[in-house]
Amino acid sequence: MRPRDARSRPRCWTGERTRRRVRSGRTAREAHWDTTRYVAGTLVLFVHVAGPLTTLDGVRWLYVATWALRVPAFALLAGYFSDAGPLTPRGLRALMLPIVVPYLAVGLLHTLERRWATGEWRLFLDEPAWAMWFLLSLLCWRLALPYLARLRHPLALAVGAALCAGFLPADVGGTLQLSRTLCFLPFFLLGWRLREGLLARPMRAEWSRFAALAVLGTVFVAAWPLRDEVRPAWLQMRLPYETPSEVLIRVCVLLVGAAVTLSFVRLVPRRRLPFVTYLGAGGMYIYLLHPLALRLLTHAGIDYAWVGPWPEQAALLALAALLAAALASPPVRLLTRPIIQPARPRRRPPPPDRRDRPTAPTPTTPDAAR
């Protein structure tokens, strides 16, 4: 099945076929997705900040309850803004530049920071640095999308690949993060299908708002008694199955994750939210820069011994939100834009054809005029 032409494509659930253009020629940002980016980025940062505190009930509960609002949400966002058109040489260059440059540049920063903090050299190329695996997976997803879009049921195929990824040996599944690339591919394709018009009417219907509230409420309530039963490996999906029965667990993880992610996207307001939406434009800055910031804080001797009961855990979440706001702030974005969002080369206009050049008018003689 070939991807449909953009003019015949049904409206996506946000009500827009394409992103609007402002008078300056730049693409107008969609407030709904910027807000989603900020919330997802803040939750990713909080989980990494609270990594040593997973024995605390509140942190463990939030880790389980918000899993689908973090990396699955980022994967869905990446799919929503991906193009399934044919890969021309120019398109391939435009696809790889915003992924390869941040991967290499931020990986180099990890190498230098690690050298400064521990005194050892380590290059992050085939084995990505902390949280950088997502860029490798994103590159694979976007390269494969034009070919997956031609299939009749690409989403079902992606789910099957995610289930089979658990049978890969650890050394194979860990190479270039192949296991997680396959396991989060369904969320990427789900985002792309949303852009193509999947679930357009249900996502705009009023009843879906209440259904989304019910889904999120049920998950947050159920996550409390299950906080110690859910293994982190089931949600990270980077290691092989320990028992064949874990296939059923992964099916449940994917289905619940898709339902929670869609519910989260449905409930995010479409209008601009003060402060939050503006910072959400730097969602990728939060994701890529926060490991560097956390390593600096750890090297500076900041620990989490003060975190104990619920109020202190809530304070840690507030501090994570402040750090996310700092990383997405205009000064940080301006300083790191060359490596996080490298400028794409401008398209040169084609040279004029000689046949299209205006020719001098033929002089008219009196005889010819007759």
- Whether 301 is covered by a domain: the verdict is yes
For residue 313, the SS3 value is helix
Among residues 132, 49, 93, the alpha carbon closest in space to that of 302 is found at 49
Among residues 122, 99, 93, 83, the alpha carbon closest in space to that of 4 is found at 83
Identity at 70, one-letter amino acid code: R
Mind listing the pLDDT tens digit of every residue in the chain (370 residues)?
444 444 444 455 565 444 444 444 445 678 999 999 999 999 999 999 888 888 888 999 999 999 999 999 999 999 999 988 888 888 888 888 899 999 999 999 998 988 887 778 888 776 788 888 999 999 999 999 999 999 999 999 999 999 999 998 876 766 668 889 999 999 999 999 999 988 889 999 999 999 999 999 999 999 999 999 999 999 999 889 998 889 999 999 999 999 999 999 999 999 898 889 999 988 999 999 999 999 888 888 777 778 888 888 888 889 999 999 999 999 999 999 999 988 765 655 555 554 444 554 444 444 433 3
* 3-state DSSP helix/strand/coil % of the chain, to nearest 5: 65, 0, 35
Pairwise CA distance, residues 172 & 179, whole Å: 8
Q: How high is the pLDDT of residue 17? A: 45
Q: How high is the pLDDT of residue 353? A: 52
Identity at 189, one-letter amino acid code: L
Question: CB–CB of 50/316 below 8 Å?
Answer: yes
- Whether 68 is covered by a domain: the verdict is yes
- Whether 8 is covered by a domain: the verdict is no
Among residues 365, 341, 362, the alpha carbon closest in space to that of 98 is found at 341
What's the DSSP call for residue 274?
A: T
- Whether 229 is covered by a domain: the verdict is yes
- Whether 209 is covered by a domain: the verdict is yes
- Whether 99 is covered by a domain: the verdict is yes
The end-to-end CA distance of the chain, in Å, is 63
- Whether 7 is covered by a domain: the verdict is no
Q: How high is the pLDDT of residue 142? A: 94
How many C-beta atoms lie closer than 10 Å to residue 305's C-beta? Answer: 7
Q: How high is the pLDDT of residue 75? A: 96
Q: How high is the pLDDT of residue 215? A: 97
Task: Kindly provide the b/e burial profile for residues 103-138, where b requires at least 16 CB atoms within 10 angstroms of the residue's own CB.
Answer: bebbbebbbebbeeeeeeeeebeeebbebbbbbbbb
| Structural domains in the chain (count) | 1
Q: How high is the pLDDT of residue 124? A: 77
For residue 288, the SS3 value is helix
Question: CB–CB of 37/280 below 8 Å?
Answer: yes
Q: How high is the pLDDT of residue 264? A: 96
**Angle at CA 307, nearest 5°, toward 303 and 313?**
125
Token duo for residue 22: 């402002």
Pairwise CA distance, residues 28 & 16, whole Å: 12
- Whether 354 is covered by a domain: the verdict is no
Q: Which domain holds residue 82?
A: 24-344
